[in-house]
Chains A and B, each alone.
Chain A
Amino acid sequence: MNEYLDLFGTFAKVGVMTFGGGYAMLPILQREVVEHKGWATEEELMDYFAIGQCTPGVIAVNTATFIGQKHRGWLGGIVATLGVVFPSLVIISILAGLITNFSHLAWVQNAFAGIQVCVCVLIFNAVLKLLKKSVVDKRTAAIFLIVMAGSLFLHISPVWFVVVSAVAGILLKNLEERAAK
């Protein structure tokens, strides 16, 4: 039982200290999980993190599940994940309640209008960063442009774009290999 509490507590701590995206979490995981607890080696952590980035879902959650299950099996994976999301649940619920109560104030509305401009720039920067890693040749550039235009102008669930492009990736690579032979 204590082992599970320890998992929950450690990952709750990681959740509180992760400020921003999944990448901000890596140095904190290194200190807490590798150095303090010894639940994974440095190499294992890098592997989990790499897989966490390319499997569906939030990177922080994927990595937590991985480390938890390695330490204590599937239940450990679930406990570690609950730990990493727990601080978000508490903090955001309190903040959301507060913001709802103050949102009629003029200065709050003006502040959020300013913040919205910042959000535009932050998302734009995130796209630039992702582009460098995902668009590696003409074909991936075409997939990017088609999906972007399709998602902007059409009212379809993003799920379809994800499924179709995964299949397209497999087909394109297969064709390439056949052409090489």
Chain B
Amino acid sequence: MTYLRLFWEFFKTGLFAVGGGMATVPFLKNIGLATGWYSQTDLMNMLAVSESTPGPIGINMATYVGFTVAGIPGAVIATIGEVTPSIIVILIVAAMLTKFRNSKYVENAFYGLRPASSGLIGAACAGVVLQVLLRVTSTAVPDSLFMRFSWDGTVSWMGLALAAVLLVLTNWVKLTKKWHPIVFIGLSAAVGVVFRFGGV
């Protein structure tokens, strides 16, 4: 039953996440909330590993989440679930390539889809910033439409400082902004170990 659910959840992710690997994050967050298979912190760790290993991020994420839920069979099923809609959609599009490219409807739909996809990733971003830096956790409330936010009264000052440095290095310093994300992930891991970011 878990396998079937896993396939279905990732099938939906593959069908509705538009704009590459990062666009799958809000969907994965939603799967975690709805099923309780993994926490938001687990998801962030999976995202970090997916960015630091070979292979497309979206596929790495699907494999990792699937593995976390149900071992190697889970990894295979989640990945196949995520690529199945792609294969179907692309085979259809390929069959009517010129029609697709010149379609007004497709173009107009994407006019609305693109900012929505950015908005979903923006919300995922706000969620992780709240949780990691400001220690505000959001949880789904059963039978309610709204998320519940709770704050333990502390702020991660060291985290904020590291985030500020990384923001500058990845956006404004000419030498470092072309570096691959894995370099910054490695640096952050080292800083985390030296300054005991986990508090242990």
Contacts and interface: CB of A to CB of B under 8 A. Distances in A.
Contacts of B12: 157, 159
Contacts of B167: 121, 124
Interface in A150-176: 150-159, 161-170, 172-174
A102 interface: no
B123 A114 contact: no
Main secondary structure of the interface of A (DSSP, over half): helix
**Most chain A CB inside 10 Å of its own CB: which residue of B18, B60, B85, B111:** B111
Contacts of A2: none
Main secondary structure of the interface of B (DSSP, over half): helix
B198 A113 contact: yes
Contacts of B138: 152
Interface residues on chain B, size class: 35 or more
B4 interface: no
Nearest to B184: A118
Contact of B126 (A65, A152, A158): A152
A150 B66 CA distance: 27
Contacts of A53: 19-20
B114 interface: yes
A55 B90 contact: yes
Given A112-B198, A120-B132, A81 B87 contact: yes
**Most chain A CB inside 10 Å of its own CB: which residue of B15, B34, B181, B195:** B181
Contacts, number: 389
Contact of A167 (B26, B27, B112, B144): B112
Given A89-B79, A118-B188, A151 B123 contact: yes
B26 to A, nearest CB: 5
B144 A155 contact: yes
B81 to A, nearest CB: 11
Contacts of B56: 15, 18, 21-22, 25, 58-61, 84-85, 88
Contacts of B14: 56-58
Interface string B76-94: 1001001101110111011
Contact of B67 (A56, A66, A96, A156): A96
Nearest to B148: A155
Interface residues on chain A, size class: 35 or more
Contacts of A15: 54-56, 59
B182 A57 contact: no
Interface string A117-161: 111111111111011011100001101111111111111111101
Nearest to A66: B90
**Most chain B CB inside 10 Å of its own CB: which residue of A52, A70, A140, A169:** A169
8 contacts: A16-B55, A57-B14, A85-B56, A111-B190, A122-B184, A147-B123, A157-B34, A169-B112
Interface of B: 12, 14-22, 24-27, 30, 33-34, 41, 44-45, 47-51, 53-60, 63-64, 67-68, 72, 75-76, 79, 82-83, 85-87, 89-91, 93-94, 97, 100-101, 104-105, 107-129, 132-133, 138, 140-141, 144-147, 156, 159, 162-163, 166-167, 170-171, 180-182, 184-185, 187-193, 195-200
